[in-house]
Structure 1
Amino acid sequence: MTDTAVSIDSDAALDRFLKLTAIPGISGQENAVALEIVRQLQAAGLPKTAIEFDDANERTPGGGEVGNLIVHLPGSGEGPTTLLTAHLDTVPVCVGSQPAVEDDEVFSTAQGTGLGADNRAGCAALLTAACELLRGDAPHPPLILCWFVQEEIGLQGSRAMDASRIGAHDRAINFDGGTVEKLTIGAIGGERMTIDVHGLASHAGVAPELGASAIVMASRAIDALYRDGWLGDVRRPEGVEGRSNVGVFQGGDATNVVTPHVHVRAEARSHDPEARTAIVRAIREAFERAAAEVTNVDGQAGRVEFESRVDYEAFRLEASHPSVQAAEAAVRAVGRQPQQTISNGGVDANWMFRHGIAAVTIGCGQRNVHTASERLFIPDYLDACRIATSLARGEFAAASS
């Protein structure tokens, strides 16, 4: 930490994280952790009227206990209005987390259980920024906080957010996983596919010739995609670049039946929407071609049901954007060198951008996320809290104006 870094109550900041990360809250079941955040905000003096939930959970595919938590702290002074965001949910391996501190790290003492620092560290950083403003008497500009639900299952909370409840702001910072100095200013776009391959059932011993195996059809399609460079790290001669994967392959009940149905789930990603569309089209055509080519003795072929859904579109902020400039200045203030990156994974900022909110994503010191060996590096987390607090106080206004 440098002399220019904002001062915070480090013990209170760590205590907030420990309390939040001990609360179960997988995607769609975030109500308990949201209520703890609300409780702490009100205990710090925030009026109930400043706190609201949107109805995003009513628009997500699986529903959920609660929508996105949105807080408005009225301004008491001049300066840029800042929006700070994080997501409430953790992955299932973190249910039952029992956080413990050892030296500069926090880990879960529950055998086989992840800590849940992704993203309770981000939640606690936002909460710390708000509590620091509420306990102080220095004037500050307006602050907006948003805790998203259901990030871990496809950015559903930010996708379904009611952006009208956020309001006008000058810069936006999203706190998620990773190191503090890494500034994610752009991210890849992703699309998921559901593919049902229908063959023709027959007795594999008595009349195999009457069947047309859905397993053979799907396997031929996947093999062709792999051989032609449409799976994995896609770098086609015509300039199409991206990522793709077949992640789920399910079918068959018995060895004496020619399999009539296979269910496949796949994904495609690219920083170029047209390239992603080309990858999806190649996958669809490969499955349809394979289904048509695999026939039974009577020439009967299979068929394919194909559905795709865009999870999130790609985005990229300019280096001169106020959010980027403010984030860089805040990172430098804690003695770190900011590093701009473009992510090959989706973040809430993807959907925020589609809603007209241009956000930079920074980490909070989470390590080995989504695993039982997850750790929180406390110095990184406390720097993230300092960054959130300094931005909330309206610092670095010249860089963001």
Structure 2
Amino acid sequence: MTRSTKKPAAKAASRRSANPSRVKSSKSSAKSSASVELLLELLALSGPSGGEGPVADFIIKRLRGAGLPAEAVLRDSPPKDSPVAGAAGNLIVKLPGTRRGRRRMLSAHMDTVPICQGARPVKRGRKIVAADRATGLGGDDRAGCAVILATALELLSGGHEYPPLTFLWTVQEEVGLHGARTAKLGLLGRPRMGFNWDGRGASQLTIGATGGYRMGITVNGIASHAGGHPEDGVSAIAVASLAIADLVHNGWHGLIEKGGRRGTSNVGIIAGGAATNVVTDRVALRAEARSHDADFRVRIVREMERAFEQASRQVKTAAGKTGSVEFDGRLDYEAFRLDRDEPAVQLAAAAVVGEGLAVDYNVANGGLDANWLTMRGVPTVTLGCGQNSIHTAAEWLDLDEFERAVAIAGRVATME
């Protein structure tokens, strides 16, 4: 009797000690499920550029519910120099850390593009898609928001050693990186390195990105009756058309490759005209130029201006009068590239390798919050979190990559 009662107990103890991975796997599965639920809740929230308030409120509620003190939650002012009237500013959370070390910052942006408004996320296998095929999903960048929120919640649960950390959820990324551009460095705690989740593969480290210039072009024509006296008018539409045709013909629109240099340009918005029987006297256009080479980007802008100025001299009234053009613009974000021996890059790479993945270094042809954060003194690496087909109605999110991203973020936050 004594032996028979002890042996099963010994076997049970042996089974427990021989299978710690079973307990670990169970905990890991629970964390994974919690992070996916967090993601689904974030995807369902409305939060266009300038209207990120509901997203910030949700994040604050979850953090406060996990024990975060109210004084650890900071909000900065809404960006002023922005194309949208926003009521929300960046959300900043600072944790003092449980050990000494350089402050690290984990970031993501809260806003989504217009096609994602009204999205209803549904889980299908190992993907999340939008229930309505007419909308996007908003994984760009609610997935990143979920990654760093899940990380913060895990740290708040206790039992982890980590250096001082800042969590930054930015606003208005999609309309010009305005949150990152205007974030108050003092409120951020002046972090020494940054990690931004906004992309596809979890093992991809984006260590550089192109620079972009955004411009407005106004073509001023001369109005006249299109049927009675068209010769007395200068069509602003005709001027704009000639200019765009010139850019295309001479290789300065779309993908631009000249003399070993590379860039892009695009006239993306054109508006003007009120009636078919009036020679249009005003057309407004919005355009952009991008290149990793700052000097070449300036050259692209100059060529765009040249084309419009030349076109304005070509269209004349019978009396020889011409229209005019006006330009305004500014640097949206400057190009950057981090060396692979940069501490932020090395730490991110170690976190990826720690998850058994091979590092995929990348340089992006689009702007990221990392452009401005790096330019302002916080060298920032951007990592992926499962996004696919962003800014389209075909958008979907890869849950395997998302869960890897959460695991990598945990390592980034806690590694020595």
TM range (shorter): over 0.9
- Written as runs of structure 1 = structure 2, the 5 A alignment for 1:8-23 is 9-23=31-45
For 2:171, the equivalent position in structure 1 comes to: 149
In structure 2, relative to structure 1, the CA distance for the partners of 1:274 and 1:169 (3 Å cut) is same
For 1:256, the equivalent position in structure 2 comes to: 277
Q: Which letter maps to 1:25?
A: G
What is the CA-CA distance between 1:386 and the residue it aligns to?
Answer: 0.8
Q: Which letter maps to 1:229?
A: G
In structure 2, relative to structure 1, the CA distance for the partners of 1:367 and 1:236 (3 Å cut) is same
Structure 1 runs (4+) deviating above 4 angstroms are: 3-8
What is the CA-CA distance between 1:229 and the residue it aligns to?
Answer: 1.4
- Written as runs of structure 1 = structure 2, the 5 A alignment for 1:127-138 is 127-138=149-160
For 2:139, the equivalent position in structure 1 comes to: 117
For 2:121, the equivalent position in structure 1 comes to: 99
For 1:308, the equivalent position in structure 2 comes to: 329
For 1:200, the equivalent position in structure 2 comes to: 222
For 1:232, the equivalent position in structure 2 comes to: 254
In structure 2, relative to structure 1, the CA distance for the partners of 1:372 and 1:280 (3 Å cut) is same
- Written as runs of structure 1 = structure 2, the 5 A alignment for 1:145-224 is 145-224=167-246
Does residue 385 (structure 1) correspond to residue 401 (structure 2)? The answer is no
Q: C-alpha root-mean-square deviation of aligned residues, in Å? A: 1.9
Taking structure 2 as the reference length, the TM-score comes to 0.90
- Written as runs of structure 1 = structure 2, the 5 A alignment for 1:56-95 is 56-95=78-117
Q: Which letter maps to 2:306?
A: E
What is the CA-CA distance between 1:367 and the residue it aligns to?
Answer: 1.2
Q: Give the Cα–Cα distance (whole angstroms) in 2 for the partners of residues 220 and 138 of structure 1.
A: 63
What is the CA-CA distance between 1:141 and the residue it aligns to?
Answer: 1.5
In structure 2, relative to structure 1, the CA distance for the partners of 1:202 and 1:168 (3 Å cut) is closer
Task: Summarize deviations over 1:73-130 as a string: whole Å, max 9, x none.
Answer: 1111244432100001111222222222221111222342222111111101101111
What is the CA-CA distance between 1:146 and the residue it aligns to?
Answer: 0.3
Does residue 371 (structure 1) correspond to residue 399 (structure 2)? The answer is no
For 1:287, the equivalent position in structure 2 comes to: 308
Q: Give the Cα–Cα distance (whole angstroms) in 2 for the partners of residues 144 and 173 of structure 1.
A: 10
What is the CA-CA distance between 1:149 and the residue it aligns to?
Answer: 0.5
Does residue 47 (structure 1) correspond to residue 61 (structure 2)? The answer is no
Q: Give the Cα–Cα distance (whole angstroms) in 1 for the partners of residues 148 and 123 of structure 2.
A: 21
Q: Give the Cα–Cα distance (whole angstroms) in 1 for the partners of residues 285 and 339 of structure 2.
A: 38
What is the CA-CA distance between 1:58 and the residue it aligns to?
Answer: 4.0
3-state SS in 2 of match to 1:244: strand
Instruction: Return the match for 1:297 from 318, 337, 354.
Output: 318
Q: Give the Cα–Cα distance (whole angstroms) in 1 for the partners of residues 102 and 186 of structure 2.
A: 19
Does residue 326 (structure 1) correspond to residue 347 (structure 2)? The answer is yes
* Residue pair 1:60, 1:157 contacting (<8 A) in 2 also: no
In structure 2, relative to structure 1, the CA distance for the partners of 1:193 and 1:59 (3 Å cut) is closer
- Between structure 1 and structure 2, the one with the greater Rg is 2
Does residue 354 (structure 1) correspond to residue 400 (structure 2)? The answer is no
3-state SS in 2 of match to 1:57: coil
Aligned residues between the structures = 392
Q: Which letter maps to 2:354?
A: A
3-state SS in 1 of match to 2:79: helix
Q: Give the Cα–Cα distance (whole angstroms) in 2 for the partners of residues 92 and 264 of structure 1.
A: 20
* Residue pair 2:222, 2:234 contacting (<8 A) in 1 also: yes
Taking structure 1 as the reference length, the TM-score comes to 0.93
Unaligned runs of 5+ in 2: 1-20
Instruction: Return the match for 1:275 from 266, 273, 296.
Output: 296
* Residue pair 1:59, 1:160 contacting (<8 A) in 2 also: no
Q: Give the Cα–Cα distance (whole angstroms) in 2 for the partners of residues 264 and 138 of structure 1.
A: 53
Unaligned runs of 5+ in 1: none
Q: Give the Cα–Cα distance (whole angstroms) in 1 for the partners of residues 282 and 49 of structure 2.
A: 30
3-state SS in 1 of match to 2:371: helix
Q: Which letter maps to 1:291?
A: S
3-state SS in 2 of match to 1:387: helix
* Residue pair 1:89, 1:149 contacting (<8 A) in 2 also: yes
Percent identity over paired residues: 46
What is the CA-CA distance between 1:377 and the residue it aligns to?
Answer: 1.1
* Residue pair 2:74, 2:187 contacting (<8 A) in 1 also: no
What is the CA-CA distance between 1:286 and the residue it aligns to?
Answer: 1.2
3-state SS in 1 of match to 2:216: strand
* Residue pair 2:388, 2:396 contacting (<8 A) in 1 also: yes
Q: Give the Cα–Cα distance (whole angstroms) in 2 for the partners of residues 366 and 207 of structure 1.
A: 55
What is the CA-CA distance between 1:20 and the residue it aligns to?
Answer: 1.2
Q: Which of the pair is proportionally richer in helix?
A: 2
Q: Give the Cα–Cα distance (whole angstroms) in 2 for the partners of residues 160 and 63 of structure 1.
A: 15
Q: Give the Cα–Cα distance (whole angstroms) in 1 for the partners of residues 239 and 160 of structure 2.
A: 68
What is the CA-CA distance between 1:59 and the residue it aligns to?
Answer: 4.6
Q: Give the Cα–Cα distance (whole angstroms) in 1 for the partners of residues 45 and 303 of structure 2.
A: 44
Higher mean C-alpha displacement, 72-81 vs 380-389: 72-81
What is the CA-CA distance between 1:293 and the residue it aligns to?
Answer: 2.3
* Residue pair 1:194, 1:264 contacting (<8 A) in 2 also: yes
Does residue 32 (structure 1) correspond to residue 54 (structure 2)? The answer is yes
Higher mean C-alpha displacement, 121-130 vs 244-253: 244-253
Higher mean C-alpha displacement, 110-119 vs 39-48: 110-119
